Amino acid sequence: MTVDSLQEHFDDKVKREVTIEPRDWMPDDYRKTLLRQISQHAHSEIVGMLPEGNWITRAPNLRRKAVLLAKVQDEAGHGLYLYSAAETLGSSRDEMMEQLHSGKAKYSSIFNYPSLTWADMGAIGWLVDGAAIMNQVPLCRASYGPYARAMVRVCKEESFHQRQGFEIMLTLSNGTEVQKKLAQDALNRWWWPSIMMFGPPDDNSPNTEQSMRWRIKRISNDELRQRFIDVTVEQAKILGLTPPDKDLKWNEATGHYDFGAINWDEFWNVVKGNGPCNKERLEARKKAWEEGEWVREAALAYSKKRSERNNKISAKAA
């Protein structure tokens, strides 16, 4: 087949919602864009363990500790599902690690904010995982098979994450004055960064159109953001907490909440590496990678030695 007819065949499959699989022909740009998107997503899951990992040893009781541990372990799993989906596109795991550690690859900016109090574990589960779910559910129908299948797995697990977070918020909001204040303070700090998780507004998101055509993005940033705000404002009412946006108002005509201006300067500043924890997060990842090096080497050496010994034994037996 010529490149033109391969392209035609590919376009036709995407249009008919037939998934593209690793060994199928695909345009270079599709491969590159997907690789960037999936690895960025994988990095976000891995770096995303850090703000919550920060509180595992200080969880207020054993139940909360077991839950948080399970949640953070899930995020590690999500990272691994996604890295292996990315590997089907021809990148090695080490290459992706290298790109994360050198700062070449990005991850979600939300994880560059600090988790200051226990209430942040509630706000993160409720808002950050909530926004992630909003983003990820449509990707279960992404055109690339391994990515879509990884997202199905991820989405199945995310719902517990959001519910455990909401439960923490609920307990705090029904608690003492101090506890309620902690919950409100966490909401105040995580609200805007969560809303920014959907990315820049549609008119400033140049790649959206192509990604929609390729069906590796199914719903635009602004539409997802609006959906998130609409459901989350209602959830905040159950908690008796107030999102930190004085312009938040139900709009009868549109059937949606109007909301205030988003501080995109802050967003871009964090993306560029100047958020409160960018440096700390990357340092933590690099340290883990470097300190694990001897383990990776030892395991390889051990397996090599063992298979050599087995070969010798079977050679003797023969």
Partner 1 sequence: MAQQTTNKNEWPLWEVFIRSKAGLDHKHAGSIHAADAEMAIENARDVYTRRMEGVSIWVVESKYIHASEPGQSEELFEPANDKIYRHPTFYDLPDELKHM
The residue ranges that bind partner 1 (CB under 8 A) are 1, 21-25, 70, 73-74, 77, 80-81, 84-85, 87-88, 90-95, 146, 149-150, 153, 157, 296-297, 299-300, 302-303, 306-307
Kindly state the smallest distance separating residue 82's Cβ from partner 1, in Å: 10
Q: Is 129 in the site for Fe ion (CB under 5 A)?
A: yes
Tell me the C-alpha distance between 140 and 143, whole Å: 9
Q: Is 285 in the site for Fe ion (CB under 5 A)?
A: no
Residue 159 vs 210, nearer CB to Fe ion:
159
String of contacts with Fe ion for each residue 28-57, x by CB under 5 A: -----------------x------------
Residue 126 vs 257, nearer CB to Fe ion:
126
Cβ atoms 229, 195 nearer than 8 A: yes
Which of partner 1, Fe ion, none is residue 75 near (CB under 5 to 8 Å by kind)?
Fe ion
Q: Is 75 in the site for Fe ion (CB under 5 A)?
A: yes
Which one of the spans 157-165, 181-189, 197-205, 225-233 is the region binding Fe ion (CB under 5 A)? Answer: 157-165
Tell me the C-alpha distance between 29 and 79, whole Å: 23
Residue 125 vs 193, nearer CB to partner 1:
125
Tell me the C-alpha distance between 53 and 46, whole Å: 11
Please give the size of the binding site for Fe ion, defined by CB under 5 A: 6
Q: Is 225 in the site for Fe ion (CB under 5 A)?
A: no
- Give 142: exposed, middle or buried? Use CB within 10 Å, 0-12, 13-18, 19+: buried
Buried b / exposed e over 53-66, threshold 16 CB at 10 Å, is bbbbeebeeeebee
Bridge partners of 251? 256
Which of partner 1, Fe ion, none is residue 21 near (CB under 5 to 8 Å by kind)?
partner 1
Please state, in angstroms and as integers, the Cα–Cα distance from residue 111 to each residue in 66, 156, 222, following that order: 22, 22, 21
Which of Fe ion, partner 1, none is residue 300 near (CB under 5 to 8 Å by kind)?
partner 1
Which of Fe ion, partner 1, none is residue 310 near (CB under 5 to 8 Å by kind)?
none
Cβ atoms 119, 168 nearer than 8 A: yes
DSSP category for residue 117: S
Tell me the C-alpha distance between 193 and 110, whole Å: 6
